[in-house]
Chains A and B, each alone.
Chain A
Amino acid sequence: MTTIDTTAPVVRPAATVGVTGVRARLGRSLQRGGWFVAPFLLLYALFVLTPIARGLWLSLTDANITGEGTSFVGLDNYTEALGDPLVWSSLGHSAYFTLLVVPCITVLAFLLAMLAHHIQHAKWLWRLCFFAPFLLPSTVVGNMWRWMFNPDTGLMDHVFHLESAWLTQKSTAMTAVVIATLWWTVGFSFLLYLAALQNIPPHLYEAAALDGANAWHRALHITLPMLRNVTGLVVALQILASLQVFDQVVVMYEFGPGPEESTRTLVQYTLEQGFTSYRVGYASAISILFFLIIAAVAVGRMWLLRKREEAVR
């Protein structure tokens, strides 16, 4: 499978050479380096390309979890998905989550990085404290915050005297997940910012200081512009990750849809359809639609990057 992939885009038409010719050419090209990529391509073909192809096919069938008795249904699954209010509401929840998390995490990570960058003492300590939560598994984070938000006995209630139980109210349910997520993942973006800050050549600041720029000016005119690339990266990575949110939400809401179905995300709905209702065909169709959204975000980012590069030139 993979070896065929390796030589897929043959330049000359294959019909003009015999089978032995193809095989010889294949051998030569592999000698020149094809074998290096072969193991990866094998895994890639099995666990990335096959699922895509399979997903496309399954989405056109009424396949169930056992894979027996499957028949072709055309675009029925897609029509159903586009008219399914739960697809839209769960997409809405994922989007809402993304909308809350991305700006908060970007600003927080930047501020934490500035702080850690400018404190001169015990630098390791700040890095440890800001980054450590990221090392915890998502399900542990979910359990911890379920406990934190527990009415009467949770820390949040203890410290902030919450008016109501956050995990049981529609209005606060997603916010609670967002708070847990910020705490958990801000460390990753923080590290990216910190590394970017350390990569800014010091002579830029020295030159500015000679010109009499104060700290604010330097931050505004040197630091921020120099962090533009990393900000773009942080935002893009966070958007992609947030749209795929699943783990901490289901753990905090015990694998249910949350109060009044307010926290069911698109990934969760897909898995419910596939693994709870056993409708693998339908779940595949939702997956493909979801994939298109993710791809659109990724392509959009590439387009933005390219446009900016052109503008710089």
Chain B
Amino acid sequence: MGQPGLNRRQLLTALGGLTVAGSLGFAALGTGADALASDARTRVRYWNLFSGGDGVNMIDMLDAFRAANPGVDVKDSTLRWGNPYYTKLAMAASGNRAPELAVLHLGRLAGFAPERQLDPFDTDLLAEYGVREQDFNPTLWQRSLIDGQLYALPLDIHPQLNFYRKDICAQAGLIGDDGNLITLTSPDDWFDALKEAKKVVKKGLQTIGLHAFDQNFAWWFFMSFYAQAGGTYYDEHLTDVTFDTGKATEILEFLRRHITDGYNIAGSPDAEHFMNGGAFVWEGGWSVPVYDAPKIPYGATPLPPLFGKPATQAESHAFVLPHQSDRGGAANEAAHRLAAYIVRHAVDWAKGGHIPAYTPTLTDPAYRKLTPQSEYASAMDHMALEPPAWFAGSSGTLAQRIGPVVVAANLGSTTPDAAARRMRQVLTQLLETSNPMGGGTA
């Protein structure tokens, strides 16, 4: 082995040694490169799960906040909605390494332990930043309280909607004098309308997209119509299962019929079909920016009240303060300030399709001009909600267990009545499982 080889080896050894030493040192510091690089006095770590059209709006609002508050360094992280997000939020909160501010679906609040996983908001501080109880829909505010303390600050309501193409529906004679979709009040009405629409929809496109394969959407649509029919899940003390398999069978048959009658081609990319000329698509309000982009003429209403009273599944995003044992000081104040800022600038947020929880926004002329947002704002008065149990909430255990059953019925791999019985079993089983965070069965 010659001299050059030896030198190269020495060089490599030295480099390797440096890398090892550097890595060990970095690991000992333990904060990560980004936190090291941040020189602002106050750093607010803010976790959210907005990755649709609303994510873009959130980024814009954060940028506006940063411009107005140069002393605060907002580090936002968007985690994948569903298991990763809630798992990580819960664990960070229990492990006392939580971010200063996070977003939570209100339905999930029951599954988070107050004091141990979440800290309450300081309402005086919020008032200082211009956010007061009277500015909120009372139902939402009530749902945000635990033992009288405010543990969540509602940001919006996001309902499931019936998006319709105005051009296609007009050809099918489904547009009323006001330029909007005519009112449909029974399953027969609805299927008649679909029949007309199908005649004018191009071959190869589906008449309606309803995410038949998606366990979350399937569950949300079921919830909506089941609530319209007056169905419930548990009694108010969460001790007995009150699930009505007869009503559920009816709803499941209704959903399935979209596929058997050929109005829906299961597995198609629903949004693409709608944009290319499908008549309807059922989607969350967050899809508004998606359909705004290609400039197609469309409207959106709450899911039509086909089974009785109006109801459409809706959830709410809310801000929470994940538990930090040393919460307080400038970072905590900045977290309040950021949450209040975004709640109050809800017109921008509403562009993402969400209905603002901050009621002064609803009368804001800028909001009233937004279409189709103003067309479905009424959905907030008819929310179909999951039962307030620890296993409920967006992509929670209940949705994960029961959603696949609805999908199976949608796809015909099980009969509607068998699926309804299975749903009842799931509800019973979950009720029997005691809340792991303590506090009885629910």
Rounded to whole angstroms, the CA-CA distance of A256 and B85 in the bound complex is 12
Contact status A169-B267, CB under 8 Å: yes
Give the complex CA separation of A216 and B269 in angstroms.
Answer: 51
On chain A, the number of residues with a Cβ less than 8 Å from chain B's Cβ atoms is 27
Contacts of B413 in A (CB 8 A): 170, 260
In the assembly, what is the distance between CA of A279 and CA of B413, in Å? Answer: 31
Docked pose: A272 CA to B267 CA in angstroms: 26
Interface string of A271-292 (1 = CB under 8 A from B): 0100111111000000000000
Residues of chain B within 8 A of A206, CB atoms compared? none
Given the known interface contacts A62-B436, A255-B84, A276-B83, the answer about A260 and B94 at a Cβ–Cβ threshold of 8 Å is no
- Asked if A164 is at the interface of the complex by the 8 Å CB criterion, the answer is yes
B215: CB under 8 A from chain A?
Answer: yes
**Contact (Cβ within 8 A) A152 B87:** no
Say yes or no: is A34 at the interface (Cβ < 8 Å to chain B): no
Chain B residues with Cβ below 8 Å from A277 are 391, 397, 433, 436
Cβ distance B211 to chain A, nearest Cβ, rounded Å: 10
Given A66-B94, A170-B413, A260-B411, A278:B86 Cβ within 8 A = no
A65-B90, A255-B83, A275-B87 known; A151-B391 Cβ under 8 A:
no
B38 contacts the other chain (Cβ, under 8 Å)? no
Asked if B187 CB lies within 8 Å of chain A CBs, one says no
B120 at the interface (CB under 8 A from A): no
Nearest A residue (CB) for B87:
A275
A224 in contact (CB, < 8 A) = no
Question: Residue-by-residue, is B195-225 near A (CB-CB < 8 Å gives 1, otherwise 0)?
Answer: 0000000000000000001010000000000
B407 located at the interface, meaning its Cβ lies under 8 Å from any Cβ of chain A in the complex: yes
A66: nearest chain-B partner, CB-CB: B94
Contacts of A276 in B (CB 8 A): 83, 86-87, 396-397, 400
Known: A151-B269, A260-B411, A260-B413. A272 touches B83 (CB 8 A): yes
Determine the chain B residues whose CB is within 8 A of the CB of A69 once the complex forms: 438
Would B116 and A68 count as touching, CB distance under 8 A? Answer: yes
| Chain B residues with a Cβ closer than 8 Å to the other chain, count | 32
Q: List B residues 346-402 near A (Cβ within 8 Å).
A: 391, 396-397, 400
Q: Is the CB of A260 within 8 A of B408?
A: yes
Given contacts A64-B436, A277-B391, A278-B436, contact A168 B86 (CB under 8 A): no
Q: Which residues of the other chain, A, contact B77 by a CB distance below 8 angstroms? A: none
User: Does chain A have a CB within 8 A of B117?
Assistant: yes
Per-residue 0/1 for A158-183: is the Cβ within 8 Å of any B Cβ (1 yes, 0 no)?
00000011001110000000000000
* C-alpha spacing A16/B433, complex, angstroms: 53
Q: How far is A152 from B91 in the complex, measured between Cα atoms in Å?
A: 38
Q: Kindly state the separation between the CA atoms of A164 and B267 in the bound complex, as whole angstroms.
A: 8
A260 touching B116, Cβ below 8 Å: no
Chain A residues within 8 Å of B404, by CB: 257, 260-261
Report A-chain residues with C-beta under 8 Å of the C-beta of B86.
276
- Using an 8 Å CB-CB cutoff, how does the interface string of A55-91 with B read, 1 for contact, 0 for none? 0000000101110110000000000000000000000
Q: CB within 8 Å of A: which residues of B? A: 80, 82-84, 86-87, 90-91, 94, 111, 113, 116-117, 213, 215, 267, 269, 272, 391, 396-397, 400, 404, 407-408, 411, 413, 433-434, 436-438
Q: Which residue of B lies closest to A65 (CB)?
A: B94
A168: chain B residues at CB < 8 Å are 213, 267
* Closest chain B CB from A110 CB (angstroms): 36
- Residue contact A259 to B91, C-beta cutoff 8 Å: no
Choose among A152, A255, A259, A275 the residue that contacts B82 (Cβ–Cβ < 8 A): A255
B-chain residues with CB within 8 Å of residue A280 when the two chains form the complex:
436
How far is it, in angstroms, between the C-alpha of A151 and the C-alpha of B404 when the chains are bound? Answer: 21
B contact residues around A5 at 8 Å (CB): none
Please indicate the chain B residues that have their CB under 8 angstroms from the CB of A152 in the complex: 269, 272
Residues of A within 8 A of B213 (CB): 168, 259
Closest to A63 in B: B436
A-B contact pairs, 6 of them (CB 8 A): A68-B116, A68-B438, A168-B213, A256-B400, A277-B433, A278-B437
Residues of A within 8 A of B396 (CB): 276
Q: A66-B116, A255-B80, A275-B91 are in contact. List 17 more A-B contacts (CB 8 A).
A: A62-B434, A151-B269, A165-B267, A168-B213, A254-B82, A256-B83, A256-B215, A259-B213, A272-B400, A276-B83, A276-B87, A276-B400, A277-B397, A278-B90, A278-B436, A278-B437, A280-B436
Q: In the bound complex, how far is the Cα of B396 from the Cα of A121, in angstroms?
A: 56
- Nearest Cβ distance between residue B278 and chain A, in whole angstroms? 15
B116 contact set on A, CB distance < 8 A:
66, 68
- Report whether B267 and A151 are in contact in the complex, using a CB–CB cutoff of 8 Å: yes
**A277 to B397 alpha-carbon distance, docked (Å):** 7
CB-CB nearest in chain B for A68: B116
Chain B residues lying within 8 Å of A259, measured Cβ to Cβ, are 213, 407
Q: Tell me the smallest distance from the CB of A138 to a CB of chain B, in Å.
A: 15
* Option from B80, B83, B434, B437 in Cβ contact (under 8 Å) with A66: B437
Contacts of B87 in A (CB 8 A): 275-276
Contacts of A272 in B (CB 8 A): 83, 397, 400
Return chain A residues, CB-CB under 8 Å to B438: 64, 68-69
Within 8 A of B (CB), among A274-312: 275-280
Distance to closest chain A CB from B262 (angstroms)? 16
How distant is the Cα of A164 from the Cα of B213 in the complex, in angstroms? 13
Q: Is the CB of A275 within 8 A of B90?
A: yes
The CA-CA distance from A272 to B398 in the complex, in Å, is 12
CB of A255, distance to nearest CB on chain B (Å)? 4
Shortest distance from the beta carbon of B107 to any chain A beta carbon, whole Å = 14
Chain A 82-117, CB-CB to B under 8 Å as 1, else 0, gives 000000000000000000000000000000000000
- B88 (CB) vs chain A CBs: closest residue: A275
Cα A146 to Cα B391 in complex, Å, equals 29
Known: A259-B213, A277-B391. A65 touches B436 (CB 8 A): yes
A44 vs B408: C-alpha distance when bound (angstroms):
46
Chain A minimum-CB-distance residue to B213:
A168
Most buried by B among A152, A165, A261: A261
A250 to B374, CA, bound (A): 38
Q: How many whole Å from B108's CB to the nearest CB in chain A?
A: 11
A249 CA to B87 CA, complexed, in Å: 18
